[in-house]
Amino acid sequence: MNAPNRPPRPVRTATVLRTERLSPSMVRVIVGSAALKDIGPLPLTDHYIKIKFGDVTRTYTVRWFDAETGEMALDFVIHGDEGLAGPWAATAQPGEEIAFMGPGGGWAPRAGADLHLLVGDESALPAVAAALDVLPAGARAEVFLEVGTATDRQPLTLSDDVAVHWIHRDEHGMGYGEALTYAVETAALPTGDVEAFVHGNADMIKPLRHHLFNVLGVPRENVSISGYWRTGMNEDGWQSSKREFVAQMEAEQDS
């Protein structure tokens, strides 16, 4: 049932135009249609859409969108035959159609911050990369990205003021987000007006939230932090339990 006074989100369709293999673990699917031109420019860097696969939906970040051509790029993490979206993206062919809702979103880098702290695993890599694309000249950023192996790295838009720290899980033998969390917690970060974007596995969100708010003292209005997924759960399971997870985390850390 829809929330009171909230109209249902319109379902749009687009056609697969082409695909690109970005790394062994990620495929980019570029879709487009004349109707997408009506969306207009997307000013945020965490814009996402909800793709319909039969009766279920899966959420994916918009890597880039061209309002003039109506083309939209979506990056998919591939885990073999696991899941719905990954296997589809791995074999998607030009001419196939997708149905989706959105885009939604809520964050973009804030001009004037002394430091942009961007943290994520593969699921957040598209949003982090999109943020780096629009950082103004001279903006300082510390970027921490966790991927499976060195072969899963991707080219990023960088300047002399941006430092990228790649963390490879195969070199540490740790679970998702654990080495990434350690890297951020032990980093020597400058003080001042810090803005943070931290997204990925929910199990890394709890310690990093504590580190940002209770150790570094970053104002909450300067932080976008959320779990995109959780180990052992599909999106439906995670979304149904996310509110309880967040409430318990806040109760433990904010008391």
Q: What is the pTM of this model?
A: 0.93
**Buried b vs exposed e over 88-100: b needs ≥16 C-beta within 10 Å?**
bbbebeeeeebeb
Q: Do residues 141 and 161 make contact, with C-beta atoms less than 8 angstroms apart?
A: yes
Distances (CA, A) of 148 to 16, 55, 98, 151: 27, 31, 28, 8
How would residue 6 be classed by pLDDT, with cut points 50, 70 and 90?
A: low
Per-residue pLDDT of 65-108, as tens digits, reads 999 999 999 999 998 787 889 999 999 999 999 999 999 999 99
Q: Do residues 131 and 108 make contact, with C-beta atoms less than 8 angstroms apart?
A: yes
Give the sheet arrangement for strand 194-201, strand by strand: 162-168, 141-147, 115-120, 194-201, 223-229
Which regions of 33-161 does DSSP assign to beta strands (E)?
Answer: 48-53, 56-66, 71-77, 97-104, 115-120, 141-147
**Buried b vs exposed e over 6-43: b needs ≥16 C-beta within 10 Å?**
eeeeeebebebbebeebbebbbbbbbbbeebeebeebe
Per-residue pLDDT of 182-230, as tens digits, reads 999 999 988 899 999 999 999 999 999 999 999 999 999 999 999 999 9
